[in-house]
Structure 1
Amino acid sequence: MTSKSGQAPIAPGAVASDLTISDLRAALAAGWRDYRAYPAFGLFFASIFVIAGIFLYFALFVRGEIAWLVPAAAGFPLLAPFVAVGLYEVSRRREASLPMSWRAILGAMRGRGDEQILSMGVILFVAFGFWLMVAHGIFAVFEAESGIKSDSGELFRTSAGIMMLVVGTIVGGLMALAFYAITVISLPMLVDRKVDFITAIIVSLATMRSNKLIMLAWAVVIAIILFVSMLPMFLGLLVVLPVFGHATWHLYRRVAGNTKTSEPQ
Structure 2
Amino acid sequence: MMTTVTNDLTIGDLRAAIAAGWADFRACPAFGLFFAAIYIAAGLLLYYALFVRAEAAWLVPAAAGFPLLAPFAAVGLYEVSRRREAGLPMKWGPVLGALRGHDDGQILTMGVIVFVAFAFWIGIAHGIFAIFMAQSGVGSQSLALFGTATGIAMLVVGGAAGALMALALFSITVISLPMLVDREVDFITAIIASLATIRSNRFVLLAWAIIVAVSLFAAIVPLFLGLLVVLPVLGHATWHLYRRSVH
Query: TM-score normalised to the size of structure 2?
Result: 0.98
Moved over 4 A (4+): none
How many pairs does the alignment contain?
247
Equivalent in the alignment of 2:23: 33
- The whole-number CA distance in structure 2 between the counterparts of 1:138 and 1:65 is 15
**AA aligned opposite 2:177:** L
Equivalent in the alignment of 2:35: 45
Equivalent in the alignment of 1:13: 3
**AA aligned opposite 1:247:** A
Query: Is 1:236–2:223 an aligned residue pair?
Result: no
Matches within 5 A, 1:221-260: 221-256=211-246, 258=247
- Match 1:116 to one of 97, 103, 106: 106
DSSP-derived class of the 1:16 partner = coil
**AA aligned opposite 1:196:** D
- Match 2:116 to one of 123, 126, 143: 126
- Match 2:95 to one of 105, 130, 136: 105
Structure with bigger helix share is 2
Query: Is 1:95–2:85 an aligned residue pair?
Result: yes
Shift of 1:182: 0.1
Shift of 1:151: 2.1
Query: Is 1:77–2:67 an aligned residue pair?
Result: yes
- The whole-number CA distance in structure 2 between the counterparts of 1:150 and 1:33 is 46
- The whole-number CA distance in structure 2 between the counterparts of 1:66 and 1:28 is 36
Shift of 1:12: 3.1
DSSP-derived class of the 1:235 partner = coil
Q: Percent identity?
A: 69
**AA aligned opposite 2:39:** F
Shift of 1:55: 1.1
Deviations 1:44-102 (A, max 9, x none): 00001101111111111121111111110111111111110000000000000011111
Query: Is 1:174–2:164 an aligned residue pair?
Result: yes
**AA aligned opposite 2:188:** I
- The whole-number CA distance in structure 2 between the counterparts of 1:117 and 1:190 is 6
Query: TM-score normalised to the size of structure 1?
Result: 0.92
Structure 2 portions without partners, runs of 5+: none
Structure 1 portions without partners, runs of 5+: 1-10, 259-265
Deviations 1:111-159 (A, max 9, x none): 1010000000000000000000100000000000111114221111111
